[in-house]
Amino acid sequence: MHWRKNVQPRFLLHVVGARPNFMKAAPVMAALSARSGIQQRLIHTGQHYDRGMSEVFFQQLGLPHPDINLEVGSASHAQQTAQIISRLEPVLLDHRPDWVLVYGDVNSTVAAALVCAKLLIPVAHVEAGLRSFDRTMPEEINRVLTDQIADLLFTPSRDADENLSREGISSEKIHCVGNVMIDTLVRLLPQADERPILTTLGLNSGKPYVLVTLHRPSNVDNRVMLTGLVTALAEISRDLPVIFPVHPRTRQRLIDLQLAETTPNLCLIEPLSYLDFLALQRHAAAVITDSGGVQEETTFLGVPCLTMRTNTERPITIKLGTNTLIGQDTQLLRHELARILNGETKRGQIPPLWDGHTAERIANIITNSPG
Ligand code: UD1
């Protein structure tokens, strides 16, 4: 592929599928819609389909209603990926876009990239280059494969550029543009502040509370690990409120183990909307998580984050930000949380280019890249 300046692709197609994709696609679509001569379409694979995991995000983020929903739903990884591939191919053949944009590291990302590569349709990967170096994580496979076949790679930080170079990806394709999810956060923080969620949960007295999200198979599909985590959270909740919006995957595991019990101070609730979750993150004393995006959002917000994983594909949140890796050690979790509550908080900085303008940089580059 060769690059020319000032060539406007006419027709861009965005593929999203799961909750963490939506806050990344929204600012890119908005930045592109402000440019003349650009047509866009949005395809939802249907990987996430519950209202609380999908529709409510579309509303709050201002994403347009998807032009097409492939409605693949839940299945094994192989089946889900295969369904996306077989249902997306005729759509792409029909539309023949100049570029397809894929986001993050979910099954929808790699499936869409593969269809594009086979049809010789240029594909751009937003949030490229992140590596946990742990191939037991399904997302790591998705990241490595998507980056190998993408034609344009938009990275959030320099460590991602280095990962891509090490894997032999040509530097011409790599653009360090910053963190697009932070664009959404910056834009919607004032709206999040208007939400009554703290009052609803009885948290507005200024007293500290802990916010929890857990959904990785390594934590919630393992009976011993999940039991240990819930025991630790119950202990923590003796000292301060613990708010735990429960992902559907985690909810099922908790029900199976008869652990889905709310006590006055350990509050298990349905998954929250983007704005409510952001409001809770901003004011939390600490966040306990295994999510990728939450490690980044807490770094931006300056809120201490304790990550229940042995590795992270977002090392900049440890190096510069407020993140600490806890592994699967619930003793260490209690110890680190006690330190935070004692005021021994890690002082973080906001990484370069996490400035709310990443989507504009992406729009500039893609509109100057011939399809
Ligand atoms: C997926 C992503 C993960 C991301 C997470 C965010 C992959 C490999 N994993 O994991 O990287 O961090 O989304 O949420 O793509 N379910 C529902 N309703 C829904 C969606 C799922 O009830 O709307 C249940 C189903 O029982 C399903 C399970 O949750 O089997 C897991 O869903 P799935 O999309 O397979 O993976 P996530 O764990 O959500």
pLDDT of residue 185: 98
**What is the C-alpha separation between 233 and 243, in angstroms, rounded?**
10
249 alpha carbon – ligand 1 mean position (Å):
7
Nearest atom, ligand 1, residue 104 CA = 11
Mean pLDDT of all residues in 29-53: 96
47 alpha carbon – ligand 1 mean position (Å):
7
48 alpha carbon – ligand 1 mean position (Å):
6
Nearest atom, ligand 1, residue 291 CA = 12
Nearest atom, ligand 1, residue 252 CA = 26
Residue bearing the CA closest to ligand 1, atom 20: 48
Mean pLDDT of all residues in 57-65: 98
| Reduced 3-state DSSP string for 296-361 | HHHHHHCCCEEECCCCCCCCHHHHCCCEEECCCCHHHHHHHHHHHHCCCCCCCCCCCCCCCCHHHH
Residue bearing the CA closest to ligand 1, atom 9: 106
pLDDT of residue 4: 44
pLDDT of residue 344: 93
3-class state of residue 66 by DSSP: coil
pLDDT tier at 9 (50, 70, 90 boundaries)? low
343 alpha carbon – ligand 1 mean position (Å):
35
Mean pLDDT of all residues in 188-195: 97
Nearest atom, ligand 1, residue 18 CA = 13
pLDDT of residue 167: 98
pLDDT of residue 20: 97
Is the pLDDT score of 293 beyond 70?
yes
Residues paired with residue 125 on neighbouring β-strands, in sequence order: 102, 153
pLDDT of residue 7: 59
Tell me the pLDDT of the chain averaged across its residues. Answer: 95
292 alpha carbon – ligand 1 mean position (Å):
14
Is the pLDDT score of 54 beyond 90?
yes
pLDDT tier at 8 (50, 70, 90 boundaries)? low
101-137 tens-digit pLDDT = 999 999 999 999 999 999 999 999 999 999 999 999 9
Nearest atom, ligand 1, residue 48 CA = 23
Mutating to test ligand 1, I would choose from 249, 254, 309 the residue with most ligand atoms within 8 A of its C-beta, which is: 249
Mean pLDDT of all residues in 211-231: 96
Residue bearing the CA closest to ligand 1, atom 17: 248
357 alpha carbon – ligand 1 mean position (Å):
29
Positions marked catalytic: 215
Nearest atom, ligand 1, residue 108 CA = 15
Is the pLDDT score of 5 beyond 80?
no
Residue bearing the CA closest to ligand 1, atom 12: 291
Domains of the chain: 11-178+355-367 (3.40.50.2000), 189-341 (3.40.50.2000)
Q: Which amino acid is at 25?
A: A
Residue bearing the CA closest to ligand 1, atom 30: 74
Q: In what order do the strands lie in the sheet with 99-103?
A: 68-69, 39-44, 11-16, 99-103, 123-126, 152-155, 174-176
pTM for this entry = 0.95
User: What is the torsional sign of CA 23, 160, 284, 336?
Assistant: positive
Q: Residues with Cβ within 6 A of ligand 1?
A: 18-20, 47-50, 53, 74, 105-107, 138-139, 215, 247-249, 252
In the chain, the largest separation of any two C-alpha atoms, in whole Å, equals 62
pLDDT of residue 180: 98
Residue bearing the CA closest to ligand 1, atom 26: 249
Residue bearing the CA closest to ligand 1, atom 27: 74
Contact 103, 127 (CB under 8 A): yes
Mean pLDDT of all residues in 8-27: 94
294 alpha carbon – ligand 1 mean position (Å):
16
pLDDT of residue 155: 98
pLDDT of residue 3: 44
